Amino acid sequence: MTDAFTQSAPLKQPRSQALSGLSVLVTRPKHQAGSLVQLLEQAGARVLQQPTIAIEAACHDSQKPVIDALAQYNWLIFISKNAVEYGLALIAKHTQISAAQSIAAIGKATHLSLNQHGVGNVCSPDQGFNSEALLDSKAFSAAQINQQKILILRGGKGREHLKEVLESRGATVTYLDVYQRQAAPLLLRPDEFATLDIITVSSQQGLENLNSLLDTQTLEQIHDKLLITPAERCSQRARELGFIHVEAAANATDNAMLKCIIDNVSASCNNNDQKQ
């Protein structure tokens, strides 16, 4: 699960009232949901919020030796916007990033967040929002990173692919966990889930937490709702969990999620018109 929700381009105005009369569930962490909620409401939707992930700063003894040795790293890779927020705050308490160190970001939203915090000259891929896209860039070829020390700032356990590939190219890689993700408490009543038409999830962990959060009866009620995910891998997992109507957006940004929702609603309306 990356956390790349905020777009790197201005929000596009949704098609006027394209979602009128529809109820949409947003499952993002509360502090990251506002712009998507706004876009959905502008498009006429009734929006309910049920965060499935709660994010907070990580604090543990293993951070100190990594922070103390920060100047030894050639590269700092920020996995997400949350890694930027919590990582820079943790670093600022103890030391600072050297001008000689190179900075990389996974996804445009993470890149933008670094810029907004005053960090310039950030390396991030022009295309793609994931680790694979960063690994495909020239800066992370074996010729460039062999013998380099790389620090990955992240939020606890996740995919090991980035670390494994970097190490296979000759780099020494260390993790610094700067935030942690917890399952959020249930806020909505079962009857509120029954009123939904569309459900959005922004990560596979969010999907898993939603599945764990709800009882069997409520899950059965929502399995036939349109589910919008940020990637095909997440969609595949949703189908394994029992969801029937699953569509993957281009990525997890607000504009991409909104476009996927509107496109699917429009296609459904067109199909219904043709049947009449």
Q: Going from the first residue of the chain to its last (276 residues), give the mean pLDDT of each consecutive group of 10, the final group possibly shorter.
A: 42 70 96 94 97 92 93 96 94 94 91 93 84 93 97 89 97 96 93 97 94 96 96 96 96 91 86 56
For residues 199 and 46, the answer to whether their CB atoms sit within 8 Å is no
Residue-wise pLDDT for 109-138, tens only, equals 899 899 999 999 999 987 777 899 999 999
pLDDT at 9: 45
| C-alpha–C-alpha distance, residues 181 and 29, integer Å | 10
| Domain coordinates in residue numbering, the chain | 23-52+187-275, 56-181
| C-alpha–C-alpha distance, residues 256 and 189, integer Å | 29
**Residue 146: other Cβ atoms inside 10 A:** 10
pTM, entire model? 0.76
One-letter amino acid identity for 123? C
Please list the residues that pair with 23 across neighbouring strands: 46
Task: Take residue 230 and report the two structure tokens written for it.
Answer: 């940020």
pLDDT at 244: 97
- Choosing among 3.40.50.300, 3.40.630.10, 3.40.50.10090, 3.40.190.290, the CATH entry for 56-181 is 3.40.50.10090
Cα atoms in the Cβ-side hemisphere of radius 13 Å centred on 73: 23
Task: Take residue 51 and report the two structure tokens written for it.
Answer: 């965060």
Residue-wise pLDDT for 189-230, tens only, equals 999 999 999 999 999 999 999 999 999 999 999 999 999 999
For residues 239 and 246, the answer to whether their CB atoms sit within 8 Å is yes
Task: Take residue 41 and report the two structure tokens written for it.
Answer: 């409401």
DSSP state of 244: S
| C-alpha–C-alpha distance, residues 110 and 25, integer Å | 25
| C-alpha–C-alpha distance, residues 103 and 76, integer Å | 5
Is there a shared CATH topology between the 23-52+187-275 domain and the 56-181 domain?
A: yes
Task: Take residue 178 and report the two structure tokens written for it.
Answer: 């700067």
Tell me the fold of 23-52+187-275: Rossmann fold (3.40.50)
